[in-house]
Amino acid sequence: MDLRKFAESMDTVDLGIVSRELELVERGLVLEEQGKTLRFRVRGAEHLECIAGVLNTRSKLYRLLGVDRDVDAYRRILEAVEKPAKAKETNFDMKEIEVDLLKLPFIKFFPRDGGLYATSCIYIACLENSCNASIHRTMVVDRRSLVARIVPRHLHYIVEQNRSKGMETKIAIAIGAPPAALLAAATSPPFGVFEMNVATSIDPELRIAYTPRYGLPVPMPSAVVIEGRITMELVDEGPFVDILALYDRVRRQPLIKVDALYVDESQLFHVVIPSGSEHRLLQSFYREALVWQSVSKVVPRVHKVRFTRGSGSWLHAVVSITKAHEGDGKNAILATFAAHPSLKLVVVVDEDIDPDNIDEVEWAIATRFQGDRDLVVIPRARCSTLDPSSEDGLCTKIGIDATKPLHGGEMFERVRMGTR
């Protein structure tokens, strides 16, 4: 299913034409946070229609996965990663145009952004027989060159391997790809598992095509495909707003030289609004599934996992479980931290508490938690460098076991409307 077809049934707000600088966030961020899908065109690049908020709610994400429950969604994405399906091939039939990046709808979202950005860029790179797809924010340097924030994961590994041999890294960048490709590129399978094969397991209709210049496999159809080289030269990237709604610092990142540019104007150019609902859900959903899988190994049942909105859906988690033994809550805390090392706070609650309802979570802490008995403290552990209060990624992790005793009786029962 391509992006345009997937978006057909969505509750869409048409913003018309927006300027390149600041207007999209000023007019659209609140709407996107409310679950709306936004359509718009960017002044100076009106030939490409843009869309934001494609996967900004669980209902949209679960529609893509063909499920309607959390647990089924977790199983679906984990199975896609564990049992990828080889992507079918099609012809590369996009139109090649003159390389001029300023004719694409790159945007300055917030006042201190380092430049114009695209935020839904799927990078494809290969090392020997292994290909990788991952999403990286990308800033325009000039009309023929870019710079991306390349975090120390698989693309970074490929770049460093080539750099050690004095070689540049050939890449393709796909924007406006099918939603299954986008979700798969946001996962983190082991190196050697190609994310586009994960995407095919999600959507068997997905196709890949090989780019004309470098023969790299890209998801089709896409609105824009860029071929280029990650060079040895370093330039400034940032500042840019991260998932915590903070400005990430300026870093020296490799310059990307663009060699070819292809467009399909029948497709939609996808934009992820930084720190918005889509940004948070795309980045956190697969990690939620990993937490569900990890905690399921140590307790009888995991009902729901939520990375909290207030923590950017990244630093805090609430997990609801069914206990079989006293101490299961603490084991669940440790399993959660193991599954997502960026977490700094985990709250474990019983099945009668909804992790989506922060008032219920606080009630459980208030009535079922004692600091000398139910608190887990792990000092100086590795967490997230996005947290400005950390010491270069070292923090003290806190676990709160807010589950009731197995034999607590009516003393711990939460009163519900209509119950006696």
Among candidate residues 70, 242, 248, 387, the one labeled active-site is 242
Q: Tell me the mean pLDDT in the region 112-125.
A: 98
Give me the sheet containing 207-210, strands edge to edge.
88-89, 207-210, 217-220
Q: Work out the average pLDDT over 131-139.
A: 98
Helices (H), 165-261: 179-185, 195-202
The pLDDT of residue 418 is 64
Biggest alpha carbon distance in the chain? 74
pLDDT (tens digit, 9 = 90+) per residue, 18-54?
999 999 999 999 999 999 999 999 999 999 999 999 9
Q: What is the pLDDT of residue 419?
A: 53
Helices 23-33, 277-296: axis angle to 10 degrees equals 40
The pLDDT score that the predictor gives to residue 103 is: 95
Question: Residue range 196-215: average pLDDT?
Answer: 97
**CB neighbours (10 Å) of residue 184?**
32
Per-residue model confidence (pLDDT) at position 241: 97
* Structure-token pair, residue 319: 């997990």
For CATH 3.40.1670.10, list the domain ranges present in the chain.
297-407
Q: Tell me what pLDDT residue 393 has.
A: 86
Specify the pLDDT at position 196.
98
| Cα gap 210→213, rounded to integer Å | 9
Class of domain 297-407: alpha beta
Q: What is the mean pLDDT of residues 81-94?
A: 96
- Say yes or no to pLDDT of 14 above 80: yes
Check residue 420 and give its pLDDT. Answer: 52
CA 374 to chain centre: 32
Mean pLDDT confidence for 373-379: 97
Q: Exposed/middle/buried for 190, CB within 10 Å: 0-12, 13-18, 19+?
A: exposed
Q: Is the pLDDT of residue 137 over 70?
A: yes
Q: Which residue intervals of the chain bear CATH 2.30.110.10? A: 3-277
Q: How confident is the model over 303-341, as pLDDT tens digits? A: 999 999 999 999 999 999 999 999 999 999 999 999 999
Between 410 and 60, residue with greater pLDDT: 60
CA 386 – CA 393 distance, rounded (Å): 8
Report pLDDT for 415.
Answer: 79
Q: Phi and psi at residue 153, in whole multiples of 5°? A: -125, -140
**Looking at the domain covering 3-277, what would its CATH class be?**
mainly beta
pTM, whole model, 2 decimals? 0.94
What 8-state DSSP symbol labels residue 107? B
Mean of the per-residue pLDDT values for the chain?
96
Let me know if 100 is a catalytic residue.
Answer: no
pLDDT, mean of residues 69-83? 96
